Structure 1
Amino acid sequence: MDTNKYAALLSIIRLGSLSAAAEKMGYSPSGMTRMMDSLENEMGFPLLHRTSQGVQLTEEGKRLLPSIRELLLAEKKTRAVRCDILSLTAGELFIGSYSSTAAVWLPPVLHRYCDLYPDVAVHLREGSNRELLEALQDGELSCAILSEPRSYKGDWIPLMEDRLLVWLPADSKLAEKEAVHPKDLDGLDFVSPPLHAETDVEAIFEKHDIHPTFRLTTSSNYTAWRMVAAGLGVSINNELVSENWKEDVVTRPFVPEEKITLGIALPSLRDASPALKKFIAEMKAHLAGEKE
């Protein structure tokens, strides 16, 4: 069964743009339009309509969306079972991750994994909580390494706790403190990850009713670090992300201490492919070795 049309529809909805989805999937805009016209003809009713905010699902399309997601997930499971039958080590992994865990955890884990299972193709995608969870929901990722989601219907495997740290310019008065209270950040210039993306930073703001001045936003942790070093504001991130960076930035813990739980989210551990189960085992073994 050709499911490319359904995957294209999900991409259009997620990006809110037919042309953006076409570019991402390697189609021309006219080719994407023909594909959607063909899908709508098969269904017998419109699935998309254009608004000033972009392309959106019709009410009929919204009713059909859960079934389409289930269909794409079933197709991935079928491919995984086929790979399992042909070879226990064959297959593909689509791993989503925070940039911190991608940079620090994944290189040694994937080095060993790829040595053990050279026929498994691994594809990485970095993103925020919201981006990774949406990709999981749409069946685009096998798993995602991130902080514990507030609400997720799949399985969750906790791996370790990590402290949240405040990043400060070297000349900041807060750098004189051994620890920073969340309210100390109220009103300060802040270098922030993208807003409204369900990040750990936004959770801290909400928890402590903090209202900094969002002077800069960036999706790059390293860029945020450099902006803080340049004196453009303060920032917050987990300890893991900056352990190997040396620029002139002062890091301080919160008081009381703030932590996040990092782990692996996946649709179903029971139904996971052999390749994914082996990856999870390698990740656990690597972290257990670090703790010894």
Structure 2
Amino acid sequence: MDTEKYQALVQAAEQGSITAAARSLGYSPSGLTRMLDSLEREVGFPLLARTSQGVRLTREGEGLLPSIRGLLYWSRQIREQCNGILGLDQGELFVGSYYSIASCWLPGILREFQKDYPGIRVHVQEAGNQTLLEGLREHRLSCCLFSRHPGYQGDWVPLYEDRLVAWVPEDHPLAQKKALLPEDLEGQPFIEPLPQQETDTDLFLDKYQVHPDFRFTTSNMYTCWTMVEAGLGLSMDNAFSSRRWNGKVKVLPFATPDRLELGMALPSLAQASPALKKFLEYVKKGVG
């Protein structure tokens, strides 16, 4: 099945602009407009609402979007399986990842992977738990590298055991401790990383019923680190990512048995495309 029109619709909806979508897909704006008009004639009703600010999906388009994403996902699966049968190492992967994993693991893994499989294109999306889980559910992502989440129903490949640590300004009284208790965070000025993403930090604080004083939020972990260094508050992240940076921040473990399992989530290992199975092999080698 020719899915170019559906891919064009998804790009236009995600970017909110026909011009931007055309640029991403390598079409002229007029060419992409004709393609979308043709798709709307085929289905028999408008899929995009055009305004002076750009484009957005109509109610009917919103209703079809999950099915369209599924169509594009299975179309890629079929294409890659056919390439595998023909002995062609081609394909396309959409990899979701924590920021820490993307910066620490992926560069080396992708370097080795591309040496052997230059025909497989890889797109990396860095985000928090909720965005990554949504990407898996909607088939926008082939796989995700993050910590095991209790709400995920697909397949899981464990890769690395980690733990949460506290980030404390060097001149803070808590910096003198060798390890923190969860209750040490109660009422403390706190910088919340990746708000509304149900992060590992959120789950930890909920588990121990701890309520810091959320003074700031940020979606960038390095910004969070520098804010702690500036004395604006405490924060948390996994120990794995905390090794990357230097500065006037004390990284302290928690005196609890909690551990994080970092790994790869994917809808189905048995039904994974040849490209994804090959990529998983390189991830295992790169982490191990």
Fold similarity call, TM over 0.5: yes
CA distance in 2, matches of 1:7, 1:207: 41
Give 1:188 shift. Answer: 1.6
Which TM-score applies when normalising by structure 2?
Answer: 0.84
1:147 aligns with 2:147: yes
**Structure 2 gap ranges (5+):** none
Give 1:12 shift. Answer: 6.7
Q: 1:18 aligns with which of 6, 16, 19?
A: 16
Q: Quick one: structure 1 residues 169 and 22, their matched pair in 2 at CA, closer, same or farther if it must change by over 3 Å?
A: farther
Identity of aligned residues (%): 47
Matched pairs, number: 281
Query: The residue matched to 1:236 in structure 2 has which SS?
Result: strand
**1:229, 1:248 within 8 Å by CA — same for their partners in 2?**
yes
**1:88, 1:274 within 8 Å by CA — same for their partners in 2?**
no
Greater shift, 62-71 or 77-86, is seen at 62-71
CA distance in 1, matches of 2:209, 2:36: 45
Give the match for residue 107 of structure 2.
Answer: 107
What pairs up with 1:126-205 in 2 under 5 angstroms?
126-205=126-205
**Structure 1 gap ranges (5+):** none
Query: The residue matched to 1:79 in structure 2 has which SS?
Result: helix
Root-mean-square deviation (Å): 2.9
Q: Which amino acid aligns with 2:16?
A: L
Q: Which amino acid aligns with 2:167?
A: W
Q: Which amino acid aligns with 1:3?
A: T
For residues 147-198 of structure 1, give each alpha carbon's deviation from its aligned partner in whole angstroms, at most 9, with x where no partner exists: 1122223221111221100000001111111111122112221112231112
Give 1:67 shift. Answer: 2.8
Q: Which amino acid aligns with 2:228?
A: V
Query: The residue matched to 2:265 in structure 1 has which SS?
Result: strand
For residues 9-59 of structure 1, give each alpha carbon's deviation from its aligned partner in whole angstroms, at most 9, with x where no partner exists: 55677x5x734x864664799988876665454333455789xxx96763x
CA distance in 2, matches of 1:244, 1:65: 39
Query: The residue matched to 2:135 in structure 1 has which SS?
Result: helix
Give 1:224 shift. Answer: 0.8
Give the match for residue 42 of structure 1.
Answer: 42
What pairs up with 1:46-65 in 2 under 5 angstroms?
58=59, 64-65=64-65
Give 1:93 shift. Answer: 2.3
Query: The residue matched to 1:205 in structure 2 has which SS?
Result: helix
Give 1:227 shift. Answer: 0.9
Give the match for residue 263 of structure 2.
Answer: 263
Give the match for residue 116 of structure 1.
Answer: 116
Greater shift, 195-204 or 113-122, is seen at 113-122
CA distance in 1, matches of 2:233, 2:108: 33
Q: Quick one: structure 1 residues 72 and 215, their matched pair in 2 at CA, closer, same or farther if it must change by over 3 Å?
A: same
For residues 56-97 of structure 1, give each alpha carbon's deviation from its aligned partner in whole angstroms, at most 9, with x where no partner exists: 763x55654443232112111122123213435322222221
Q: Quick one: structure 1 residues 170 and 92, their matched pair in 2 at CA, closer, same or farther if it must change by over 3 Å?
A: same
Query: The residue matched to 2:272 in structure 1 has which SS?
Result: coil
Q: Which amino acid aligns with 2:260?
A: I
Q: Quick one: structure 1 residues 92 and 9, their matched pair in 2 at CA, closer, same or farther if it must change by over 3 Å?
A: closer
Give the match for residue 287 of structure 1.
Answer: 287
CA distance in 2, matches of 1:71, 1:285: 32
**1:10, 1:138 within 8 Å by CA — same for their partners in 2?**
no
Q: Which amino acid aligns with 1:164?
A: L
Give the match for residue 97 of structure 1.
Answer: 97
Q: Which amino acid aligns with 1:252?
A: L
Give 1:235 shift. Answer: 0.5
Which TM-score applies when normalising by structure 1?
Answer: 0.83
Give 1:246 shift. Answer: 1.3
**2:22, 2:32 within 8 Å by CA — same for their partners in 1?**
no
Q: Which amino acid aligns with 1:67?
A: S
CA distance in 1, matches of 2:83, 2:161: 34
**1:167, 1:234 within 8 Å by CA — same for their partners in 2?**
yes
Give the match for residue 236 of structure 2.
Answer: 236
Q: Which amino acid aligns with 1:18?
A: G
